[in-house]
């Protein structure tokens, strides 16, 4: 039987005695698009940091396709097939969209070698298909520095996909985007989810509604609840965590 793509068991991460993650357990299957939400300080970034190996568990295990990641470095974990996109784009501004994607797809060959030698045909076709997927065909030969913020985000998502990861971790992809760019980013992630497992961390609830199938809510370093967007939005625990404890009824209404 194939193991889940990601399985996290009783994970605690302490910073100087403070538990940023607190006995957290989590599981997702291959091919899932999972959205993680939670108020500030809930542990979302630490959650991604521990999956990529940037931070090591104080207690508990992270299993990727059944393999315990504890002993491995960030580079090794990336090579196993976990790719992460950070909130701010990290593209090469002087290189074209196509060159950025070629470089991302051939990282082991080195920058100069990739740029000086033409790619084999199958690789070129793969990059062209990716350019179409991320909606940047008209700008494929533009330097990335000329792209809008949203287009840079799509390019970076494309660069992540060019590395052929099995699991994509995407941190707040629509922060600072226009409504239209946000909608298109949602469409892009949904399209990519047809052939990848994806975890998206996001605050923008309109966007979450657009893409989410299953939502996991983190709070104080643990999973508070999990379910469809409707289930989660109607869960009194989630409402309390986001809005604070319900107001007490006025005393007059409590009296008969
Ligand atoms: N290196 C660190 N040292 C000490 N405390 C840390 C460290 N990293 C995170 N924390 C604390 O752990 C808790 C969880 O932080 P984390 O950044 O994972 O939350 P988050 O859900 O991503 O928050 P936000 O939505 O604000 O980005 C916070 O209280 C934070 O202050």
pLDDT tens for 63-73 read 999 999 999 99
Phi/psi of residue 151, each to 5°? -65, -35
18-28: strand order across its sheet: 18-28, 6-15, 59-64, 67-68
Is 169 a member of any domain? no
Within 13 Å of residue 242, how many CA atoms lie on the same side as its CB?
15
Report yes or no on 180 lying in a domain.
no
Residue 20 CB–ligand 1 contact under 6 Å: yes
Cα–Cα dist 151/70, whole Å? 35
Q: Which of 164, 182, 208 is the last residue of a domain?
A: 164
Structure confidence at residue 251 (pLDDT): 45
pLDDT digits (tens, 9 = 90+) for 197-219: 999 999 888 999 999 899 999 99
Q: What is the CATH number of the domain that holds 7?
A: 3.40.50.300
Number of structural domains (the chain) is 2
- Domain co-membership, 92 together with 142: yes
- CB distance 42 to ligand 1 below 6 Å: yes
74 and 115 inside one domain = no
67 and 114, same domain (yes or no): no
Residue with tokens 């990727």: 64
Same domain membership, residue 13 and residue 33: yes
Asked whether residue 256 is domain-assigned, the answer is: no
Instruction: Identify whether 106 is part of a domain.
Output: yes
Range of the domain at 73: 1-81+195-245
User: Ligand 1: which of 12, 21, 40, 43 to mutate, judged by most atoms within 8 Å of the beta carbon?
Assistant: 43
Q: Domain for residue 75, yes or no?
A: yes
- Rounded to whole angstroms, the Cα distance separating 80 from 107 reads 15
Q: Which atom of ligand 1 is nearest to the CA of 43?
A: 18
| Ligand 1: nearest atom to the Cα of 55 | 1
Q: Output the pTM of the full model.
A: 0.89
* Structure ipTM over 0.90, yes or no: yes
Q: Are residues 116 and 152 in the same domain?
A: yes
CB of 202 within 6 A of ligand 1: the answer is no
Residue 177 belongs to some domain of the structure: no
pLDDT in tens, 129-188: 999 999 999 999 999 999 999 999 999 999 999 988 999 999 999 999 999 999 999 999
Could you tell me which residues are beta bridge partners of residue 96?
143
Ligand 1 proximity of 146 Cβ (cutoff 6 Å): no
Q: Which ranges of the chain would DSSP assign to H, the alpha helix?
A: 44-52, 74-80, 97-105, 111-116, 121-133, 149-162, 179-192, 205-211, 229-234, 236-243, 251-254
């Amino acid at each position: 039987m194939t193991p889940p793509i990601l399985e996290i068991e009783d994970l605690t991460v302490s910073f100087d005695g403070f538990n940023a993650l607190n006995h957290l357990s989590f599981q997702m299957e291959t091919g899932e698009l999972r959205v993680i939400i939670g108020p500030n300080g809930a542990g979302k970034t630490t959650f991604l940091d521990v999956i990529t190996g940037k931070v090591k568990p104080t207690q508990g295990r992270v299993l990727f396709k059944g393999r315990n990641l504890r002993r491995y470095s960030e580079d090794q974990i990336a090579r196993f097939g976990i790719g992460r996109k950070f909130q701010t784009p990290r593209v090469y501004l002087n290189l074209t969209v196509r060159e950025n994607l070629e470089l991302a797809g051939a990282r082991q060959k080195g920058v100069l070698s990739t740029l000086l030698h033409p790619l084999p045909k199958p690789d070129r076709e793969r990059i062209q298909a990716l350019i179409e997927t991320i909606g940047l065909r008209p700008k494929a030969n533009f330097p990335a520095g000329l792209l809008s913020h949203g287009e840079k985000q799509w390019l970076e998502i494309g660069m992540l996909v060019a590395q052929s990861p099995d699991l994509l971790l995407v941190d707040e992809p629509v922060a600072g985007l226009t409504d239209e760019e946000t909608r298109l980013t949602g469409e892009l992630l949904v399209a990519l989810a047809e052939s990848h497992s994806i975890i998206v961390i996001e605050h923008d609830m309109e966007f979450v509604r657009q893409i989410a199938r299953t939502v996991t809510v983190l709070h104080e370093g643990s999973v508070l609840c999990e379910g469809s967007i409707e289930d989660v939005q109607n869960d009194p625990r989630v409402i309390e965590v986001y809005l604070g404890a319900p107001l007490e009824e006025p005393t007059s209404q409590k009296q008969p």
